[in-house]
Each structure stands twice: as structure tokens, then as C-alpha cells.
Amino acid sequence: MEKGVSLERALEIALESPFHRKTELIGLEDAAGRLLARDLASKVDDPRFDNSAMDGWAVRKDDCNDTGTVLRIVGTSQAGSSTTTTVGKGEACSIMTGAPLPEGADAIVMIEDSTEEGESVTINGPARPDYIRKKGENLERGVTALLAGTLLTPAAVSLAATMGHSEVEVVSKPKIAVIAVGDELVPPGETLGEAEIFESNTYGIAAMIRKMGGAPERFELIQDTIELLRDTLDEAAKSCDAIITSGGVSMGKWDIVRSIMEDEGEVGFWRVMMRPGGPPLFGTWKGTPIFGLPGNPVSSHVVFTVLVSEWISRCMEADQAMGPRLSNRVRVIMQEPLKGAPGKLCMRRISIRQEGESLVGSTSTHQGSGNIHSMVAHNGLSLLPPGTDSKEGETIDALWLF
Ligand code: AMP
Ligand code: MG
């Protein structure tokens, strides 16, 4: 077991015990938000044939060098019907956006630049070859346009359909157990005893798992009892791909997740040199990977955001740039000084916004690791290297959360 590791090292250790990635074939209508498991190649040329980008006239460019040219109308090309018309010298064919280009034509005149009168049309504007969309100019048949590991955004789903796929193979949603531990915790909505608080972490953690493309399974709250915890971990290890616990990983006497993992599980690391979120652990319980997150609400959210989400993404074999993420790394000019942490990567909650040419950052609420409101009132995290403060006006690395 390694103690007090850097964030990078923590990820490395966790990646030595990934969950087993499965895949499944699903209908395209259900594919948005899923991670593509296999490269997708186009079954067609896009466009399939030369067609018009405008409603107007298919013409020969050389006929239209002078404004006021009058051309004889020889037919119509409509989207969805094949055309047999040929455009000869001095002729024009009426054409709609997306309709096949008739033979002989090499340019399009927009309808706005013409006057139609009976059998003929007067051309008042330019005849443009670039209003023709060429066969295969977007994608040629057989080209792989969607790579395995891509998050299927609405545009990616449209592209898959354009390429002729009605089904896609995606990464199955990993089932991840979420377990909260603590005698003081009561589900929200129930009556609180004197020293009790509402349990909140499992809701936030489950929401982040869902955002990463996973399927969270919230277990019943458990008291600080080793026997209960052991049974729950056993059940979770059997039914889920990975386990996330909240609470009970610090130094205290009642920090039973840490103690049971030390005695009966396999621990890869304990404690990461970061603030907030110092005490997490990672290991395996009966072969199933397990993250023990700290109970403080900000700590558990931050550890998930910077570590667990990255691990899930890698286990799912997401493309680093195209896969699901919870944040984006940016450079931010701080509008006020920020205090760092000795020996630890310091992630203060900051608000990031665009001002002129730059991104600027500021803080508003109390920064305590128990204050989940600070994660709502802000939309970013500073990435102050260990032992570094930042001054007002200094540019720092930060994570922009989404
Ligand atoms: P622990 O990590 O168990 O020492 O808990 C640290 C702090 O976080 C304590 O103040 C706990 O009451 C609080 N806490 C622990 N688990 C949760 C939870 N699931 N939801 C909200 N607060 C929690
Ligand atoms: Mg506790």
C-alpha cells in the first residue's frame, strides 16, 4: 500500500485494477450520451451525388458571364427524384436544395438572383460552382468518421445515421455501488435526531456516475458497524462492477472503511496529496475495485471529479478528448489572492467567466470542505501546485466544471 500519493500516482495505481468493460448493441434512438465501442465507417458517400446547396437554377457558368442573360427553362430537379434533364448551352434547369445536379450543368444561380417569365429565366446574379455540393466531399464511403471511445453527442448520433447505421455498439454502463457510512446520517425527508444530519453524498456521487455514463446503485445507508459494512461490501462486490463508499476513511476510531480495507481488503493507496479530499483510498474488495471517498461533501465531490471520473473514463476506454468528462483544464486570471496548501495540490472553488479576451476567476462563499454550497456557487476548481499561493492578477491552472 502507498500512503500520501500524488493525484497522478493515485490514478496510476487505480488503473492497475480497472473494472471489466462490456459492450452492447443498441438502437440509434437510444445512443445519445453513450460511448461508442467500435469504429464506425460510412456505408455511403456524403453527399451521395452532386447536388445543389441552394434553391435556384442549374446552369452552365459560361452562359452567365453577363448579367441579364436569358436562358430557356428545360426542366425541374427536385429533392428526392432523379433527374433525366440535361442542361445544354443557353439552358437552365430549375433546382431545389439537395436535388441532383442535372447533366451538363456546372453552376447554380440562386433563385433570388433570377426572374422567371414563362419558358425562360433572366439571370441577374452570379452563377457559382461552389453552390454545388460534390459527391463524397463530406465523407467518402468506407471512411471511419466516428472512432471507438467517442461520446455520442446529438451531432455524432446524426452522423451515425447519415452513414447508414441504425444500431451502434456502445460500452455497457458500468454498475457502480454507492454506499454511505456514518451513524449521524439520515436520508433527506426523514426526521432528524439531535446529532443527526441529512445524508447527501450518495445523491451527488450517483449523479456524477450517471454523467460519466455509468449506472449508479445506491445502497441503504449503513451505520458505523464493521459487520454491516462487510455484508454490504460483499453484496456490492457480487452485483456491481465497482464500489464507491463515502465516509469513514480518515484517521478516526470510527473510520471503519479504512480499517476493514486494511484488515480484510487489498489497499492500493491511502491518502492523496490534495486539498480538499486528502483521505481517499483505493483498493479491491474480493476482486472488485473500490474507492473510499471522504465523507465531507466537498471532498467527495472533488475526489470524484478529479480522480474517480478519470478512472471510470479510462476503464470505459473513452477517447481522452472525445469521451465523457466533468471538467475542462483552462488558464484563469485570478481577481483576488488564493491561498495554496503546503505539500498538497490545492483546489479552491472558484467562479470562472469570460471577460474580454480572458477567463477570470473569483471566489465568493466559505471554502470549507463541508460546504457543498461552495460547489454550487462556483463553477471551477483552482489547481494550485503544492506549496504555492497565487497573487491577485496571477494566471493559474484551473478546472472548469460542467
Ligand atoms: P467522515 O469522512 O466519515 O469522517 O465524515 C466527515 C464529515 O462528513 C462529517 O462531518 C460527516 O458528518 C460528513 N459526512 C459523512 N458522510 C456524509 C454523507 N454521506 N452526506 C453528508 N455528509 C456526510
Ligand atoms: Mg464518519
pLDDT tens for the chain, residues 1 to 402: 999 999 999 999 999 999 999 999 999 999 999 999 999 999 999 999 999 999 999 999 999 999 999 999 999 999 998 888 999 999 999 999 999 999 999 999 999 999 999 999 999 999 999 999 999 999 999 999 999 999 999 999 999 999 999 999 999 999 999 999 999 999 999 999 999 999 999 999 999 999 999 999 999 999 999 999 999 999 999 999 999 999 999 988 889 999 999 999 999 999 999 999 999 999 999 999 999 999 999 999 999 999 999 999 999 999 999 999 999 999 999 999 999 999 999 999 999 999 999 999 999 888 899 999 999 999 999 999 999 999 999 999 999 999
Q: Determine the atom of ligand 1 nearest the C-alpha atom of 252.
A: 4
pLDDT of residue 296: 97
Closest by alpha carbon to 202, among 378, 372, 388, 29? 372
Answer yes or no: are the C-beta atoms of 125 and 113 closer than 8 Å. yes
Kind plus residue range of the DSSP H or E element containing 258? helix 256-264
Pairwise CA distance, residues 195 & 279, whole Å: 24
Q: Using a 6 Å cutoff on CB, does residue 223 contact ligand 1?
A: no
Query: Which ligand sits closest to the CA of 198?
Result: 1
Pairwise CA distance, residues 251 & 249, whole Å: 7
295 CA to centre of ligand 2 in angstroms: 6
Pairwise CA distance, residues 42 & 161, whole Å: 9
Tell me whether strands 2-5 and 266-272 are parallel, antiparallel or unpaired.
Answer: parallel
pLDDT of residue 216: 98
pLDDT of residue 388: 97
Q: Using a 6 Å cutoff on CB, does residue 295 contact ligand 1?
A: yes
Query: Which ligand sits closest to the CA of 247?
Result: 1
Q: Using a 6 Å cutoff on CB, does residue 91 contact ligand 1?
A: no
Amino acid letter for position 38: R
pLDDT of residue 251: 86
Query: Which ligand sits closest to the CA of 254?
Result: 2
Protein residue with least CA distance to atom 3, ligand 1: 247
117: CB partners within 8 A, 6+ apart: none
Q: Using a 6 Å cutoff on CB, does residue 289 contact ligand 1?
A: no
Q: Using a 6 Å cutoff on CB, does residue 278 contact ligand 1?
A: no
- Which cell numbers in the block locate residue 137? 466531399
> Which of 190, 246, 261, 375 should be mutated for ligand 1, with most atoms under 8 A from CB?
246
Query: Which ligand sits closest to the CA of 246?
Result: 1
pLDDT of residue 253: 83
252 CA to centre of ligand 2 in angstroms: 8
Q: Using a 6 Å cutoff on CB, does residue 199 contact ligand 1?
A: yes
Q: Using a 6 Å cutoff on CB, does residue 294 contact ligand 1?
A: yes
Kind plus residue range of the DSSP H or E element containing 95? strand 91-95
Q: Using a 6 Å cutoff on CB, does residue 250 contact ligand 1?
A: yes
Q: Determine the atom of ligand 1 nearest the C-alpha atom of 279.
A: 2
Q: Using a 6 Å cutoff on CB, does residue 200 contact ligand 1?
A: yes
Query: Which ligand sits closest to the CA of 249?
Result: 1
**Cβ neighbours, 10 Å, residue 112:** 10
Q: Using a 6 Å cutoff on CB, does residue 151 contact ligand 1?
A: no
Amino acid letter for position 96: M
Q: Using a 6 Å cutoff on CB, does residue 172 contact ligand 1?
A: no
Answer yes or no: are the C-beta atoms of 47 and 97 closer than 8 Å. no
35: CB partners within 8 A, 6+ apart: 149, 150, 151, 152, 170, 171, 213, 316, 317, 318, 323, 324
